[in-house]
Amino acid sequence: MSSYMVDEITADVLLAAVMIITGLLAVVASMHSTPAGGGDMLSNIVKPSDHFLSARGTASWSTIAMSFFASGMGAWIVYGTTEMGANPALSWWGVVGYSSASAFACLILYFLGPLVKRVVDENDGGEKGFGITDFGLLRYGRAMQLYIAALSCFYMFIYLVSELTSIGNVYALVTEGGKHTTDARYSTGEITDWTYATKVCIVVAVFTTGYTAIAGLPASILTDKFQGVTVAGVVIALTIACITKEENKVTAAQFEKASASTNEGGYALVSLFIAIASAELFNQGSWQRVWAAKSDRDFGLGVLLGSFLIFLVMMFFGLMGMVAYSKDSAAYDSFEKFAYLSFFDLLAPMGEAWHIITLILLTTLCASSVDTIQNGLASVLSRDLMRYNCVNISRVVVLAFNIPAVIMASEGYDVISLFLVADLVCATAVVPVFLGLIPANKGGPTELGALLGCVAGLATVVVIGQVKGVTEAVNPFDPTDVYESNEYLAYFWLTNGGICALCGTDTMYTFLTVPAVSGVVTMLFSTIDRTIRGAAADKPLIGCTSTADRRVEQLEDYIKDQGMKVPSRPEV
């Protein structure tokens, strides 16, 4: 692999410039995005308003499209579908699977978004929601809300770690700053000292945390438009440059070897559809866009266009992986080169200007994804925090997540493996949660049934791991690097004995089995729950859930204080 030409000072200046420009755009956008009566920027910083947290009803379909596109693409894309493309066991089906599954997750939101929004906004005394955790509260109760919040935070934390890991890796690989401080071996991409990569992670985390705390969600959505256009333009330029560079040209015969249609790729496609859809339904950043859209029509058009753009970009990077494998298949087959670094194999022989452009592209993508995650983390319990006038706690929460995320990113975990852990955990709960769209009076699940269904999903993963005798999870590229030594948790890393976590039927059957078991258990125990507890089974396990209920209770307390008898409530 050829060496890269970006020196450390240039890389540092570039990183700072992109982050400063992005931050300034966010702040300026925030100054012009507050609606009439919504307070000025300073008051929103001191005491965030509903608009500052939700951008409710302000985004057009084009804004939603660019927002989904820019925030859905992160620095990880240079590792994602490229690894599928440069792995002949996965090849076309792996590339198409990853690309279409990512777009499919958006399409599920196209159908579920307005339904969930309606449940939240029309059934709580006019109080508006922020995301999927509010659905859990109103449909089930406080216990389910907290479980969904924990799951959502877990997924977004893993996403944050993956983004920081990716951007740190990229800077360490592409710049001489990485050479000087990380002793990176570029033929394999192995980085033995993560000092430089960690510095990059810290800069990204500090800047994004700062401007999201100042500017809020409206600014993040508006800057996504700029970032989306930038990404589209740079991808087009990279496409032309990569395929016209003499060193990157391959023959039809070479490409044919890399573009096989394999059973392994088909298995990966099925796994990816379930995995990515399950996880994205717990991405609070995506749910925020449901409420930010001006109308259901704007949201629908926006998410359709955004998903199509996501598909195109991911297909591009997948094809780049296939080209990289085509021109040096022997090196990839012998693991002299790694599939997940295949994009950099094409990038290396290009000039310094293209390396700089790539850093701009990926830094922009990373900032867009990270600020979306941070806004998502801040909004998980915003509805409750606004009610009790303690919204600034959310900022402390975001900061608290960023610190361990930077620490984990410095460990250099495999990005795809990280995502799959989060995907599998989310798959344990996705069916119980969204079965809640079936009303309780029409046989929908009870809160206790849904919680037991989620627990059953987790238990299913543990049981599968025990049956298969999995005792630890290791780095697929370094058997001495143990990810998880606890035998009960090891299989969450999908240690399946294949050359990758997505390969083979074990992973596919796991992703098919886990949601099915959790759904069946949810409905079974909901039926048992109603048989034993009767009408009480459809009430929350902890306290009351709605503004209407609280107002009734306040009225009852007032009546009691006046020495009058409280009338009995009608049966619902």
pLDDT value at residue 226: 78
List the structure tokens of 77. Answer: 């894309």
d(CA 527, CA 504): 36
Buried b (16+ CB within 10 A) or exposed e, 157-181: bbbbbbbbbbbbbbbbbbbbbbbeb
Question: What is the C-alpha end-to-end distance of the chain, expressed in Å?
Answer: 69
Residues 6+ apart with CB under 8 A from 483: 413, 417, 472, 473, 474, 475, 493
Report helix, strand or coil for 6.
strand
Q: What is the pLDDT of residues 280-312, one digit of tens each?
A: 999 999 999 999 999 999 999 999 999 999 999
What residues form DSSP beta bridges with 478? Answer: 475
pTM: 0.89
Amino acid symbol at 435: L
Question: How large is the average pLDDT for residues 31-43?
Answer: 58
Dump the DSSP string for 161-177: HHHHHHHHHHHHHHBHH
pLDDT, position 378: 85
Cα–Cα distances (Å) from 282 to 101, 118, 201, 234, 516, in that order, read 15, 18, 24, 30, 18
Determine the length of the chain. Answer: 572
User: Is it the case that residue 415 has pLDDT exceeding 80?
Assistant: yes
pLDDT for the residue numbered 529: 96
How many Cβ atoms sit within 10 Å of the Cβ of residue 190? Answer: 15
Distance CA 324, CA 331 (A): 10
What distance in Å separates the CA atoms of residue 146 and residue 138, rounded to the nearest whole number?
A: 12
Given a cut of 50, is residue 184 above it in pLDDT? Answer: no
Mean pLDDT over 48-77 rounds to 86
pLDDT one-digit tens code per residue, 501-529: 787 789 999 999 999 999 999 999 999 99
Mean of pLDDT over the chain: 84
DSSP string, 451-483: HHHHHHHHHHHHHHHHHTT---EEETTEEEEEE
Q: What is the pLDDT averaged over residues 322-330?
A: 91
Domains, the chain: 8-413 (1.10.4160.10)
- Using the predicted structure, report yes or no on whether residue 188 has a pLDDT greater than 70: no
- Helical residues (DSSP H) of 32-76, grouped into ranges: 41-46, 50-54, 61-72
Does residue 52 register a pLDDT over 80? no
Using DSSP's 3-state secondary structure scheme, residue 185 falls into strand
> Which token pair is 178?
């990485």
At a CB cut-off of 8 Å and minimum separation 6, what does 177 contact?
7, 8, 11, 12, 171, 196
Report residue 557: phi and psi, to 5°.
Answer: -65, -40
In this predicted structure, what is the pLDDT of residue 34?
59
Say which residue, 476 or 171, is predicted with more confidence.
171
Radius of gyration (Cα) for the chain, nearest Å? Answer: 24
Half-sphere exposure of 138 (CA within 13 A, CB side): 28
Quick count: other Cβ atoms within 10 Å of Cβ 146? 16
